[in-house]
Structure 1
Amino acid sequence: LGIFGETDGDEFVEAVDRVLEAGHAVDKPVATLAFEEDEIERWVDRGFDFVLAGVDIDYVKAGGLRAKAMFEDAMEKRDG
């Protein structure tokens, strides 16, 4: 389409609808990727059967931050 990143544009949305219609016409589930949480509902409402949500690095970062907080809590309990 030549419109990378322009997911709100009419041309992109029309292409998405064509893909959804084609998949559903042959009784196949259609999936997409949501980079941000607010996109999940948008794509489900549009008709996607499932949505892969998030970006791997976000999950890695969140896990690292949780582990860091747990370590800091443990050190605080130990050292007072």
Structure 2
Amino acid sequence: MQERQGSYAWCFSHGVLHHFPAASTPWCTATWAWLAGESREEALAAKTARFGEARFLDALPLTEQLVLAGAGQSAGPR
């Protein structure tokens, strides 16, 4: 499992940015990936740099989909 990078994650099941406060346990059980950044703007920039304009899982290359699906809710940077 990847260490938490911040408090933001992109959810490829819901197609939105989730915010999980630092002291909380992530509540979403869908497929998401932690993003670097301390603000919403920084997290969205990190999402775009890492995944481009992909909003949902099927917009990513198959190999990336498999990595994220296999990592569950702990997909980290590569």
TM bucket normalised to smaller: under 0.3
* TM-score using structure 1 length: 0.19
* Rg comparison, structure with higher value: 1
Pick 1 or 2: higher relative contact order, CA cutoff 8 A, min separation 6. 2
Q: When you count strand as a share of all residues, which structure comes out higher?
A: 2
